[in-house]
């Protein structure tokens, strides 16, 4: 291996494998050192250097200069080759790892190569990635040779290779699709401020506009909904709510809870909670199916949202004031102040900051500890009572279901018996029609009630 060949090898590897030339030079040097130590002994001090400009190889062993031909030839080119291949593979792996680590959260496109055990193997431009079942949209299936878009979720080194994990269930995919379909986002006229998502069901996207002439919500929807339709189709029909962002939480939270109509928002800043008051007819709409609407709105705003009616809030306030007042060290005035700050249960009170309670009630640290201990104990009692109530309700539902099943079984049994009796009556009537009647003579001329007289013998 002369100097020219070294430079050609380094340049070819650099272009084909996208590996820095310096890494390739270091790999060749390490390979030659490893091969030389196998020839001269592992304890020998071998140093190999390659000139980056000319490609000339110089080597020393225990301070003695080695001939370059001897270094490459007699020492063992095969050993050097094996080590060099290993080093190049490691360098290639590191280059791929760096490349895809920079793409975490970005959208990539690939073709489904295999689909086994619910996980899909996706072929990207230069690596095979995995789309686990847990990172797929619930209910969707993929087919061989299908082109799939997903975001890079995780990159790990695995031996001489890297493992790229993709995701279609994370909010990043929704954001990248918006960026792709809506030019105003790429131009920074419209900004995505927050996203909350339950994949396969519903997403909420909060957007704002830096140009008052551009309606951020209308631009995202598009003419006749064509822009948002493309995104919904890519997500398998997932519902997307576009929310107008506002820095004022009292405006943002009602926007996030749409289509429900909100009467009032009460911010409890010490707890990071917002109490949202709605009319009775808007209660189920604000909460959403299985709590989905309020849950997504809470994630979008970053605040814990509790939906109530005016009557429910008044009842909770009265109950909280009355309950807090019974705690040792809590006066009526302090109980009312706690409620004003949004503390409506013993569980809330058990997590209050001691300094805040000391300041609000003028209490000592010992008194605060006593109050918190009482609140914790009563919170546990309330939780135990609620759990018992839930168990009792489940038992009642089970008994009611069992009773209903028994009643259905009885009704079915009675219906079957009635049907059976009807069939029996029909069968009996048929037999009666076929049998000879009392007026019908028998073959010997007697009626059924008369027995034929025995024949007389000779007198």
Angle at 186 between CA 184 and CA 187, to 5 degrees: 60
pLDDT for residue 80: 56
Phi and psi for 129 in degrees, rounded to 5? Answer: -115, 165
What is the tens place of the pLDDT at every residue in 104-143? 999 999 999 988 888 999 999 889 999 999 999 998 888 8
Give the number of other Cβ atoms within 10 Å of residue 39's Cβ.
15
Specify the pLDDT at position 68: 61
pLDDT of residue 84: 67
Which residues in the chain show pLDDT less than 70? 1-3, 67-84, 422-459
DSSP letter, residue 306: E
> What 3 state SS string does 163-187 have?
EEEEECCCHHHHHHHHHHHCHHHHC
Fold of the 170-245 domain: GMP Synthetase; Chain A, domain 3 (3.30.300)
Q: What is the pTM of this model?
A: 0.69
Q: Which parts of 132-221 fold into alpha helices (H)? A: 171-181, 183-186, 216-221
pLDDT of residue 60: 83
The span from the CA of 355 to the CA of 123, in Å, is 57
CATH number given to 3-99: 3.30.1480.10
What pLDDT is attached to residue 70?
A: 59
Alpha-carbon distance 356 to 368, whole Å?
10
Residue 302's pLDDT is 92
C-beta of residue 14 within 8 angstroms of C-beta of residue 24: yes
Architecture of the domain spanning 312-396: Orthogonal Bundle (1.10)
Distance CA 414, CA 174 (A): 58
CB atoms under 10 Å from CB of 162, counted, come to 22
- Cα(114)–Cα(120) distance, integer angstroms: 6
pLDDT given at position 280: 92
Query: How many angstroms separate the CA atoms of 136 and 166, rounded?
Result: 9
Structural domain boundaries in the chain: 3-99, 103-167, 170-245, 312-396
Q: Please, what is the angle between helix 365-434 and helix 354-361, to 10°?
A: 110
Name the average pLDDT for the chain.
83
Q: What integer pLDDT is reported at residue 73 of this predicted model?
A: 57
How many CB atoms lie under 10 A from the CB of residue 11?
Answer: 13
**Whole-number pLDDT of residue 27:** 78
Return the CATH number of the domain spanning residue range 103-167. 2.40.50.140
Beta bridge partners of 181: none
3-state SS assignment for residue 454 = coil
Number of helices and strands in the chain (H, E): 16, 14
- Structure confidence at residue 454 (pLDDT): 44
Quote the pLDDT of residue 72: 57
pLDDT of residue 69: 62
Cα–Cα distance between 329 and 337 in angstroms, integer? 14
Round to whole Å and give the CA distance between 69 and 191.
63
Q: How far is CA 346 from the centre of its chain?
A: 32
Distance CA 48, CA 59 (A): 4
């Amino acid at each position: 291996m002369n100097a020219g060949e070294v430079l050609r090898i380094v340049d070819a590897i650099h272009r084909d494998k996208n590996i820095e030339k310096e890494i390739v030079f270091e790999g060749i040097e390490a390979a030659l050192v490893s091969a030389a130590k196998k020839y001269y002994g592992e304890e020998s001090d071998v140093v190999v250097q390659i000139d980056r400009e000319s490609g000339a190889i110089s080597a020393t062993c225990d301070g003695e200069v080695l001939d370059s031909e001897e270094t490459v030839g007699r020492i063992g080119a095969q050993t050097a080759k094996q080590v060099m291949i290993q080093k190049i593979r490691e360098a290639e792996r590191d280059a791929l790892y760096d490349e895809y680590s920079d793409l975490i959260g970005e959208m990539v496109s690939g073709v489904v190569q295999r689909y086994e055990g619910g996980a899909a193997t996706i072929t990207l431009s230069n690596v095979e990635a995995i789309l686990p079942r847990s990172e797929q949209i619930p209910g969707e299936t993929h087919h061989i040779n299908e082109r799939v878009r997903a975001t890079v979720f995780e990159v790990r080194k695995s031996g001489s290779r890297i493992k790229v994990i993709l995701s279609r269930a994370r909010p990043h995919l929704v954001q990248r699709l918006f960026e792709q379909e809506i030019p105003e986002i790429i131009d920074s006229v419209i900004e995505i401020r927050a996203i909350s998502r339950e994949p396969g069901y519903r997403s909420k996207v909060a957007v704002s506009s830096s140009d008052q002439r551009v309606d951020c919500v209308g631009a995202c929807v598009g003419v006749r909904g064509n822009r948002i339709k493309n995104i919904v189709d890519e997500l398998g029909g997932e519902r997307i709510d576009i929310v107008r962002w506002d820095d004022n939480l009292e405006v943002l939270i009602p926007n996030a809870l749409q289509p429900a109509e909100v009467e009032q928002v009460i911010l409890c800043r010490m707890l990071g909670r917002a109490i949202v008051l709605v009319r009775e007819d808007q209660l189920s709409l604000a909460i959403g199916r299985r709590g989905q609407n309020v849950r997504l709105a809470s994630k979008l705003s970053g605040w814990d949202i509790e939906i109530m009616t005016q009557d429910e809030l008044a009842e909770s306030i009265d109950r909280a004031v009355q309950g807090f007042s019974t705690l040792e060290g809590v006066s009526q005035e302090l109980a009312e102040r706690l409620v004003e700050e949004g503390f409506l249960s013993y569980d809330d009170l058990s997590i209050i900051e001691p300094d805040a309670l000391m300041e609000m009630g003028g209490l000592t640290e010992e008194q605060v500890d006593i109050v918190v201990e009482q609140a914790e104990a009563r919170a546990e009692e309330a939780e135990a009572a609620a759990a018992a109530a839930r168990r009792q309700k489940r038992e009642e539902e089970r008994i009611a279901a069992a009773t209903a099943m028994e009643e259905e079984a009885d009704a079915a049994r009675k219906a079957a018996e009635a049907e059976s009796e009807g069939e029996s009556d029909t069968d009996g009537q048929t037999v009666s029609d076929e049998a000879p009647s009392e007026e019908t003579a028998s073959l010997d001329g007697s009626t059924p009630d008369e027995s034929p007289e025995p024949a007389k013998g000779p007198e």
